[in-house]
Amino acid sequence: MRIFKATDPEYLSLKREDFKLHTREEEIHDAKFETKPVGFFKDAMLRFGKNTASIIAFAIICIIVILSAFGPMMNEYGYNDQDLDRANLPARIKGCEGINLLNGSTVLKNRRKDNLDNTEKYPEGCILDVFNETVVNGVEMCDIRIDTYIYSGYGDDYFWFGTDYLGRDLWTRVWRGCRISLIIAFAAVLTNVGFGVIYGSIAGYYGGMTDMVMMRFAEIVQAFPNIVVMTLFIMYFGNGLFAIIMALVVRDWVGTATLIRAQFYRFKDSEYVLAARTLGTKDAVLIFRHILPNAIGPIVTRTMIAIPSAIFAESFLAYIGLGIRAPEASLGVLLSHAQTVLLQYPYQTVFPAVLISVLMISFNLFGNGLRDAFDPTQRGT
């Protein structure tokens, strides 16, 4: 190939016909893309789909959400129907007569054997099993397993999770409590993320003095121990639904804000932002349309991982007596009540405890799956 200079006589004498287009007529040999382009979300969903544990967790979450929406309607008992005569009945489900936890039976210890036939004391058919027979001072004693429902005259009722100390149906209360816990957790996390995103965006985008002041304020908020902030907040605003939600947000937004701010620092000086700015794009559009979508992965992940912590924090408040106001119940309130009668009526602890554990495990697995999908480099941490 020759290089012509502008002063070369040959260059000046070049004619239009001497030039020819290089590849206009010839075939281009590049292979065409056979596949469709995969976007960010589709890519993430594909990765998520490969994670069996997360899919199962997601299914379980869906089931729990549906049950907490419709569970209380599945039997005729209201969440606040009190009846002291039927207090503390264990769980009884039709068809589970063989399983001791679910057949409404209780063990009574040290009963006189000669009294067992007395139908005034033990109504017809309430004794299921007699065992541990001993003789004490010449009196025959034994332990018996009775059907508590027949024993207390509620032979036709089926309380699937039993009843509490006021005779309220625990199935209804557990699902209603689960609903409240979920509402609190979702509302708290959404508020937290919403506020954190706006705060972090402004601090990160404008930088400089604005950033300095805003982040110092956030640091001061974070210096308060969580427990102290939550306690003071609920003491002041009372234990309504809204106050509890706000108590969970009051300090947690700082983490989200820091995360978003870091994302803004990463992207705000990149060329595409500069180009958009040159074209006269407004600040608000730049923030929310051009820069923020970069952080969508971390935001989604953070939201999902924050939900189990919010459920935990809510139960925690319930345990220290700052839970939602009676007669409403959350999972935490139910658990803390059940805790006080654990040794007498363990079934009252079992159902909410299993539910909250399954819920937390599912949310954690689901959150991990989402994080691996959105950011494969973080896998395993």
Partner 1 sequence: MARYVMQRLLAMLLTLFIIVTVAFLVIRLMPSSIYDDPTISAEVLDMIQAKYHLDRPLIEQYGIFMKNVLLKGDWGISMKIQPNIPVFQVLGGKVPLTLFINLVSLLASIPIGLVFGAFAAIKKNTMTDHGISLFVILFISIPSFIYATLLQYFAAYKFGWFPITYTVSDMASVKYLSLFLPTLSLALDPMAKVARYMRAELIESLNSEYILLARTKGFTRSKAIFRHAIRNSCIPVLNIVVPMFANVLGGSLVVESIFAIPGMGSLMIKSINANDHYLTIAILLIYSLVSLMTVLVVDLLYAVIDPRVRMGGKKQ
Q: What sign does the dihedral 269-270-276-281 (CA atoms) show?
A: negative
Q: What is the C-alpha to C-alpha distance for residues 66 and 24, in angstroms, rounded to an integer? A: 62
Q: Tokens 């060329």 appear where?
A: 271
Question: Taking the complex as a whole, how short is the minimal distance between the CB of residue 134 and partner 1, in angstroms?
Answer: 20
User: Contact, 249 vs 306, CB < 8 A?
Assistant: no
Nearer to partner 1, 152 or 368 (CB): 368
- Site of tokens 């606040």: 80
CA quadruple 209, 215, 218, 220: dihedral sign:
negative
Task: Give whichever of 275 and 320 is closer to partner 1, judged by the CB atom.
Answer: 320
| Residue 140 C-beta: closest distance to partner 1, Å | 27
What are the Cα distances from residue 42, in Å, to 47, 373, 374?
9, 10, 10
Distance (Å) of CA 351 to CA 90, 102, 191, 346, 363? 11, 11, 30, 9, 18
Instruction: Give the integer Cα–Cα distance in Å for 241 and 275.
Output: 46
Cβ of residue 303: shortest distance to partner 1, in angstroms? Answer: 17
Q: What CA–CA distance (Å, rounded) separates 264 from 274?
A: 13
* Smaller CB separation from partner 1, 132 or 357: 357
| Residue number, 299 or 322, with CB nearest to partner 1 | 322
Minimum distance, C-beta of residue 224 to partner 1, in the bound complex (Å): 6
CA 345 to chain centre: 28
Query: Two tokens at 236?
Result: 């002041």
> Is the CB of 143 or the CB of 157 nearer to partner 1?
143
* Dist CA 316 CA 309 (whole Å): 10
Structure-token match 């974070």, residue found: 222
Nearer of residues 222 and 294 to partner 1, judged by Cβ? 222
The distance of closest approach from Cβ of residue 228 to partner 1 in the complex, given in angstroms and rounded to an integer, is: 5
Q: How far is the CB of 275 from partner 1 (least distance, A)?
A: 29
Token couple for 159: 């309380």
Min dist CB 183 to partner 1, Å, is 19
Give the C-alpha distances (Å, rounded to integers) separating 49 from 10, 40, 375, 378: 66, 14, 14, 17
CB of 373 to partner 1, least distance (A): 17
Reduced to 3 states (helix: H, G, I; strand: E, B; else coil), residue 61 is: helix
- Report the nearest approach of partner 1 to the CB of residue 88 (Å): 17
The residue among 28 and 223 lying less far from partner 1, judged by its C-beta, is: 223
> What's the rounded Cα separation, in Å, for the pair 334 and 164?
9
Q: Which is nearer to partner 1, 201 or 256 (CB)?
A: 256
**Which of 198/350 has CB closer to partner 1?**
350
Q: Which residues bind partner 1 (CB under 8 A)?
A: 220, 223-228, 231-232, 235-236, 308, 312, 315-316, 319-321, 335, 339, 342-343, 346, 349, 353, 356-357, 360-361, 363-365, 379-381
